[in-house]
Amino acid sequence: MLLSALIFLPVLFGLAVLALPKQLVRPVSLALSLVHFIASLLLFRNFDPTSAGLQLVEQKPWMPDIGITYFLGLDGISFWLVILTTFLTPLVILGSWKSIDHKIKGFHSALFFLTATMVGSFLALDGILFYIFFEASLIPMYFMIGIWGGARRLYATVKFFIYTMFGSLFMLVAIVALMFMAEQQLGQMSSSLLDWYKLEIPFVGGELLSTQTLLMFAFALAFAIKVPMFPFHTWLPDAHVEAPTPGSVILAAVMLKMGTYGFLRFVLPMFPEAVDYWTWLFIFLGVVGIVYGALVAMVQPDIKKLVAYSSVSHMGYVIVGLFAMNAFGTTGGLYQMLNHGVSTGALFLLVGMIYERTHSREVNAYGGLAKVAPWYTIIFLIVTMSSIAVPMTNGFVGEFLILLGLFKAHPIFAIIATTGVVLGATYMLWMVKRVFFGPESAMVKEHAAHGGMDLNWREKLVMAPLVTLIFWMGLFPNHFLNYSKSSIDHLLENRMHYQLQVDNSSSPLKVVDQRGVN
């Protein structure tokens, strides 16, 4: 019941918010999102990190005729992503206290619906259920960018929606094909992931039209657009620049992870032969993304766009890590997903905070910010360190593990990817230099004259947990990795014949019963 509660609590909250009087919307939403976060902390009590199986499983027939079930479960792969989602919602609400000034009911309602669909897609273990959450998450984000976004918001939001939808519809066709394959091989239509893992999907190496290759690419396209991998990334800068700060934070920190999570949950275990054959392609595109994203970020005049392109670069690391397919690489990839969520989320929040004061995101318009906003500068520097992977911060652990794993698997690619680290440091530090140091620019002087340039207590409160996490995750990675270790080891060891067991007390029997009856 806990997992269902995590999905449906925010739905209820989203409806409840609509009924509130206007002045209560913000505090109540904050309280409700904290309730949701605390509820998600109950997962720590019920989750057994030593097991690689699925835990807290809930399975109920939904459309028995065609084998669709309401099937939720948690394992080491999805565990931290769920916590990340619930953790960011209160921060985003607190962070947008001032910046969202119209239609606040609709905004908070959309935010809660978005949270519900994101948690749902991390927990769903039924292909159709996953697809529904995956697609439904577009609707609140569409409204978020379109209503509260910047000047070109309409263009950006439509591009975002159609681009993402285009990829996932091919995934739908592949899902249908897998359901019929389950009927042929297992005697019954099924969209349960556990059944899909059992399928023997025909594969002929080198043949583009062999079944497994086609299915793999249908899934990979949907996730590659979501991640986004080079060359499917063009929607991302538009969406990020036009989205309001909270939208950017959620988009970068969680929604992009739905893509990489999809690779880890669907593509790697379900199509092992095809993945083996095409690994080079994914690694190649990942590495190109790392370098290309960094180079383009370097020349951006707009801070937010710079951060957006740095996302392309960082997500490239995640992809190469996952496809390095060894313990270091894949663990690093998973860790980097969380790191990116924390550090890029923090960067977008910081950019939003200064934008609220000066209404400018032009790098050139700034200068000498360090003198007038010391707290802001210190926190921005810490987050920058995390983003460029300085040791002791979380970014270092992730990138180091990824490069280590990649070096073991594909040394040449690893060398190229390493240049991305240097380029990353270059564009971030160059931007920091121009924005924070040097003489104060006219704009900064003008705004500093009114005072209030530095962070207020609310903004410090938003950043405090993120900064804490940056160091915590950098100094004690095992506190986090322990929860995912057994699942990742299990995935890598049994990749060619991946199976997931359902753990925990009564659920396995129930599952067998339902399948038998239908």
Write out the residues near another protein by the rule CB under 8 A: 62-66, 128, 131-132, 135-136, 138-139, 142-143, 146-147, 153-154, 157-158, 161-162, 165-166, 169-170, 172-173, 176-177, 179-180
User: How long is the chain?
Assistant: 518
> Measured from the CB atom, is 145 or 404 closer to another protein?
145
SS3 150: coil
Shortest reach from residue 154's CB to another protein, in Å:
6
> Measured from the CB atom, is 153 or 515 closer to another protein?
153
Shortest reach from residue 2's CB to another protein, in Å:
21
> Which candidate, 176, 317, 182, 341, places its Cα nearest to that of 255?
341
Residue 113 backbone dihedrals phi, psi, to 5 degrees: -65, -40
Residue 381, both tokens:
């520097």
DSSP string, 184-241: HHHSS---BHHHHHH------TT-TTSHHHHHHHHHHHHHHHHTTPTTS-THHHHHHH
> Measured from the CB atom, is 142 or 197 closer to another protein?
142
> Which candidate, 415, 384, 420, 401, places its Cα nearest to that of 478?
401
**Neighbouring residues of 73: CB distance < 8 A, sequence distance ≥ 6:** 3, 54, 55, 56, 57, 58, 123, 125, 502
What end-to-end distance do the CA atoms of the chain give, in Å? Answer: 23
Shortest reach from residue 121's CB to another protein, in Å:
11
Q: Compute and round to an integer the Cα radius of gyration of the chain.
A: 22
Shortest reach from residue 117's CB to another protein, in Å:
10
Shortest reach from residue 348's CB to another protein, in Å:
21
> Measured from the CB atom, is 107 or 323 closer to another protein?
107
> Measured from the CB atom, is 146 or 272 closer to another protein?
146
Shortest reach from residue 168's CB to another protein, in Å:
10
> Measured from the CB atom, is 189 or 379 closer to another protein?
189
Shortest reach from residue 138's CB to another protein, in Å:
7
> Which candidate, 398, 228, 425, 233, places its Cα nearest to that of 321?
398
Residue 296, both tokens:
């383009």
**Neighbouring residues of 472: CB distance < 8 A, sequence distance ≥ 6:** 394, 479
Residue 346, both tokens:
């923090």
> Measured from the CB atom, is 171 or 448 closer to another protein?
171
